[in-house]
Amino acid sequence: DPHMDLQAPSPVASLPADVCILLLCGLPGCGKSTFCEALLAKAKDNPALLGEPGGVEWHHICYDKVEAECRRARSGSPDAFDAATWREARERVAELVRAKVEGRTAPRMVLILDDNMYYRSMRKRWLHFAQQRGYAFRQGFLRA
């Protein structure tokens, strides 16, 4: 449905989800990565933050860092933009998410994906990814 409200919970949202995909969206420089670092520090200090006795694995995947690594691998410079590298980085993030989920050791996991996600289709991809697997899906929008 092209008019789907991305804020609406998925039909499986009433079931306890072992994995949560949290998109942290906002303009460049608004503090997304800083917020993620603070949130991960808080989670590290309080392992039962989400009420899970066995703990929760928290992971922060920053699109900018992944893209810089891809650029460095292609051209030797983290600043040399090209569209192919941008696409490669987006696919690499999807691979990282799959690998993190497959390798999890705690009963629950929160994956924070940090990007501007300026197109609705960029967010919708992750909504579908979560729905297909019965994961929780949430979005946070930081404003500067």
Better pLDDT: 50 or 143: 143
Beta-carbon contacts of residue 77 (< 8 Å; ≥ 6 apart): 71
- Asked if 142 and 39 touch (Cβ cutoff 8 Å), the reply is no
Better pLDDT: 51 or 23: 23
Mean pLDDT of 1-6: 39
Query: What's the order of all strands across the beta sheet hosting 19-26?
Result: 56-62, 108-114, 19-26, 136-142
SS3 42: helix
Mean pLDDT of 114-130: 93
Mean pLDDT of 38-63: 83
